[in-house]
Amino acid sequence: MSSSKRSPSQIALELLDCIDAKGEASRWDLIKILGNTWQFHHWVEDFLLKEKFVEERQESRNRFYKKTEAGEMFHRLLRNGKMIRALSRVSGKRLTRY
């Protein structure tokens, strides 16, 4: 986990990179990136799973997460920082300046 403040897009990218590295990531792998179980719940359960960017697989007492097709597309967008900045500029009522 990085000690500097990370943007939401950086956090999401780190999570998806972790999953991408082995094809799937354990709950513990993702908690190590996020720092605690509350952040895991917030990011993985309330965002990535709900938006169907990842899917969960349970094997005995362990949970594993892998990217879905939508997660692959989201990961590609996050890797291309220009696309995320452009989307954030047009997401409000008016075009924002940088």
User: Model confidence over 51-79: pLDDT tens digits?
Assistant: 999 999 999 999 999 999 999 999 999 99
Say if residue 4's pLDDT is above 80: no
User: Is 1 inside any structural domain?
Assistant: no
pLDDT of residue 95: 64
Q: Could you tell me the CATH number of the domain that includes residue 50? A: 1.10.10.10
User: Is 97 inside any structural domain?
Assistant: no
Residue 97's pLDDT band (cuts 50, 70, 90): low
Contacts of 41 (CB under 8 A, 6+ apart): none
User: Is 69 inside any structural domain?
Assistant: yes
Question: What's the predicted TM-score (pTM) here?
Answer: 0.85
pLDDT of residue 88: 79
Contacts of 70 (CB under 8 A, 6+ apart): 51, 52, 53
Domain around 54: 8-90
Dihedral of the CA atoms 72, 53, 32, 20 (nearest 10)? -20
Domain count, the chain: 1
User: Is 81 inside any structural domain?
Assistant: yes
pLDDT of residue 84: 80
User: Is 95 inside any structural domain?
Assistant: no
User: Is 58 inside any structural domain?
Assistant: yes
